[in-house]
Amino acid sequence: MYPIVPLTKSPMLLLFFTAVLFAIGPTAYGAEPGKLNVLLMFADDLNCDLHCYGHPRVKTPNLDRLAARGVLFERAYCQFPLCSPSRSSFLTGRRPNTTRVHRNPGGGEGKPQTSPHFREAIPETITLPQLFRNNGYYAARVGKLYHYGVPAQIGTNGFDDPPSWEQAFNPSGRDKAEEDKIFTLIPKSYGAVLSWLAAEGTDAEQTDGLIAAQAVKVIEQQRDKPFFLGVGFFRPHTPYVAPKKYFDLYKPDEIKLAELSADDQTRTPAPAYASAKKEQENLTVALRQEAIQAYWASISFMDAQVGLVLDGLDRSGLTDKTLIVFSSDHGYHLSDHGLWQKMSLFERSSRVPLIIAGPGIKAAGKTSTSLAELVDIYPTLADLAGLPTPDYLEGKSLKPVLNDPTATVKSAAFTQVRRGEFDGYAVRTDRFRYITWEQGRRGEQLFDLQADPRETKNLAHDPAYATTVAEMKQRIEGYSMPVTK
């Protein structure tokens, strides 16, 4: 039997064990010390109607607490205001004209897809979760990260990318089972149509409730080794389904509808308003208010599920070892500009919430007005985790802003959309938003967002702003010309 020698009595042993402990790092990560976990949470079709973004009525206490321990980006933008193009972009770190994904897949369950997968254009690309997986992380997905047809593909793999994940979980809840109870403007149509349901039952029975529970289970099971966990909530995507208690938070008759500008009323230029849908044109005031109530209810329900995941991370003792990102694939209209949902290049459709929290972030609890894009998430997480990145990434690390909220990493943010056979591009700078349709041949728009945040006055043809328009055109030409059809 070997004698027990107190370390304090043996300087050489103390030095030896100190060196060993330094080399192996914290035991919480087993054989792979020092690696930060990643918790990437994405909502679906979520705009910035959040309390932490200054909305006076929408209740989001859990996103508020995440913002309090992270950096909230006031000016973050998607690259394409549609699910599959946006998600393909930020998860590859490459812009839509590189991924060649400009529309959602058609088809559905059991039907052929009609849109390319990004692997067809860039087969060798290393996705964000794949980068972490290749560097020794357990990479898993719960819910929707890549494209899903909602609600048709809930419970399936959707339009997933298998190389990205070691494991994938596809919960399906009461919202999917009770589709026949949903109110919709077009019978038996839910995903792209305004539709909603104040559901019976509990949070835990809904798909997003199941997603939160599964995410917590993964965190608990993987707590002894580094993980990259993607958690994709389906709400507030249509149909706006949430337990009735969340609807009760908002009274429809107290919801004030947006006022429309002269251009909104005449819909000039036409491509700017081409996302309008016929069945939404003649909604009564009461139905518009009910739709917004349902959307806000879905936000508060989704926020509660975010809280469950954050609570699970706290209980695991891993919060201080985990990088947390929360965002959405694009923004969303709620009758503003006379539009509903997405697929426009106005601020409301292009702007997204973005909160980043984690160990070592010096600006925690701060808000930044520095411009950011979803395509920046990939290089940012890799930078914070100390992982080498592919040289083809098209975003920039936001780490400087996470240390100093007044820092700037880019002078412009870009969003694009396709209208049949031509494209629209938007560029957002510190002050202006400029939009051009088919290189100006089908119209252009310029808004001074400092003086006119609601985008009511188009300055594109005002001689006083000719220099600004010229500069904006040059920026868009440098960003990307339309791809060959």
Q: What share of the chain is helix, strand, coil (3-state, %, to 5)?
A: 35, 20, 45
What digits encode the pLDDT tens for the residues 342-372?
Answer: 999 999 999 999 999 999 999 999 999 999 9
pTM: predicted TM-score of the whole model, two decimal places = 0.91
What digits encode the pLDDT tens for the residues 243-263?
Answer: 999 999 999 999 999 999 999
> Residue 128: CB partners within 8 Å, gap ≥ 6?
40, 90, 91, 92, 93, 164, 377, 378, 381, 382
**Looking at residue 10, what is its pLDDT?**
38
Q: Is the pLDDT of residue 484 over 90?
A: no
Task: Return d(Cα 151, Cα 167) in angstroms, integer.
Answer: 22
Contact 323, 37 (CB under 8 A): yes
What digits encode the pLDDT tens for the residues 12-38?
Answer: 333 333 333 333 333 333 335 579 999
> Residue 484: CB partners within 8 Å, gap ≥ 6?
none
Task: Give the residue, 24 or 422, on which the prediction is more confident.
Answer: 422
3-state SS, residue 441: coil
Task: Return d(Cα 272, Cα 276) in angstroms, integer.
Answer: 9
Least confidently predicted of 113-127, 153-167, 243-257: 113-127
Contact 230, 142 (CB under 8 A): yes
Per the structure block, which two tokens stand in for 378? 């990939």
Q: Supply angle C-alpha 125, 41, 399, rounded to 5.
A: 70
**CATH, domain range 33-407:** 3.40.720.10
Mean pLDDT of the chain: 91
